[in-house]
Amino acid sequence: MAAPQDGPWLDGAAGRLVRPYTISNGRTRPSTSMDLLTHVMATGATPLGYLGPEHSQALDLCAQPTSVAEIAGHLKLPAGVTKVLLSDLVDCQAITTKPPTFHDNPTDRSLLEAVLDGLRRQL
């Protein structure tokens, strides 16, 4: 059985009752560039126009800086569909995006070699 907060969109036996491409109106590309590690946060602005229930749920999840991947997981939607929904919210200035920041150099040769050595030990 679906959880009460899932509403009519999920059924315990059948799964999602609305196909992801329906949620994004058939769009597959977001209007704003973002990856899974991009952080999004609500601006406090009220979105103008109609937003679907998934938009509202995504906006609620953006009260604190949250990654695109986390939002997709909470919404139980594919990342591509989530990016389209989030880009709609960016377009209406309801959220802002911030690319991920790395405190260390992620391409540091010694770090990459250490990861490779660890993977080799696992095999």
Q: What is the pLDDT along the chain (123 residues), one digit of tens a residue?
A: 444 444 445 545 544 445 555 565 666 677 788 988 899 999 998 887 778 888 889 999 999 999 999 999 999 888 888 998 999 999 989 999 998 776 666 677 877 788 888 888 877
pTM above 0.85, yes or no: no
How many other CB atoms are found less than 10 A from the CB of residue 89?
Answer: 24
Contact 57, 75 (CB under 8 A): yes
Q: 20: which 2 tokens?
A: 């992801």
Q: Are 37 and 97 in contact (CB under 8 A)?
A: no
Alpha helix (H) ranges present in 1-123?
Answer: 20-23, 53-61, 68-75, 79-91, 109-122
Strand partners for 97: 40
DSSP state of 90: H
